[in-house]
Structure 1
Amino acid sequence: MTAPYVLVVDDEPDIRQLVKEILCPVIMMSGHGTVETAVEATRLGAYDFLEKPLSLAKLLLTVERALEADRLARENLGLRRRSQAVIEPVGRSAVMQRLREQVKRLAQHDTWVLISGEPGSGRETFARYLHAQSVRRDRPFVEVAVNTIAPGNAARDLFGSETDGHIHYGASSPPPRASSPPRCRRVVSARTCSTSSTSCRCASHRCASTTRTRRTS
């Protein structure tokens, strides 16, 4: 990973516009700062506005925070783009065509769906395709890897439990948040046979995903 660069430019409108397009974030500095100047700088997209004389410690802290904010913004943008990229299951055979049509029909219903198959058969791809076709397509597709969940605690950790009035929220039923809308959930489970790690996934286009492992005799 390359080190970030710091570019110092004159206060010219065309330069500011160019910097805004190619370099983020922007920190404005002025020896004649006013409230109006600070507001205008913020409107033009500046991360912060500093007045001279400058404190070196404050300047370094502001630059550090600006770089961190920019890193988080780019990371969130990448995650959003990746989550929006839906890959349609490929294949022109009659079986694949029937599967795609079946997924589209299932997506119209508010119900849990079990998708099973061998490793590499495309269970997650179909689960994401199911979510993309459902009315919850604009809500998060949450995937929870639960290979570390002990078999004896799988039901509690996946679906939650209540003991003596104490509620333990599971992966498919997170605690409610007053400030956020209900989340879309998909549950994914995996099973292994006694000789190999053959797995199956269960999914719901309610869409939170969890992976559970159990051994069959």
Structure 2
Amino acid sequence: MIGRTRRGASRAAAALLAAGCSLGAIGCAAGPTGPGAPVSPGGSSNGGTEGPGTAAAPAPEGSTTVACDASRPADPDPGGDPDPGGDPDLGGDPDLVVGPFSLPGAAHGIRTYGGTPAAPGPDGLSYYKIGVQVVYGSTATVSIGAEARSFAGIRTERGRDGGYSAVTYAACANDAEAESRGLGTAGEATGSTRGFWVGGFLLRDRDSACLPLEITVGGDPTVHRVELALPAGACG
């Protein structure tokens, strides 16, 4: 089922910020308050036209799986100020949800300050950072739609610079497994129901897109097609 839920800032946000822009930080636009918070545009202002990238920009390709040991426990109680930075206009967006899979605060796309696209880096990659969450005991595969695979990819925390065309997220079986693997402090793990992975989406030689995604859950062959606006508003 595809739906939208509303949640505030979480401790998963701290994990995303802790990773900073260390994920091969090319054209990195990192949210100041975590998932669902607006990303910094990095000075780009060309409103969605092709960026100044070069032919050397690494292309997204292939697929990978990120499993329990690469995740962090998501906050079991995400209540509170959706924007600790203090701007009420920047927080509280609903999540993009497909069954056990969710992109926090991204039902209307990944927000940037002023709606300005993320600036491409020197090699032509624009990076929209956002965490992925999957309910414990579940798996979900996210694929870039065929029409966008030449210029868009999915970045994982320790993956290839150009990203992947598809990523499978395999959550821990339960909270006890997450805690036993030391995936955060006991306080973070206890009571959590979801795993959280640092990552995001890459655009090659452009700074914005209405990105088609295809999502499948577990062994169900049903393909859920959604659009993710990079940045919010790019899908009209």
TM-score range, shorter chain: under 0.3
TM superposition score normalised by structure 2: 0.21
More helix by share: 1
More strand by share: 2
Highest Rg: 1 or 2? Answer: 1
TM superposition score normalised by structure 1: 0.22
Higher RCO by CA contacts (8 Å cutoff, separation 6 or greater): 2
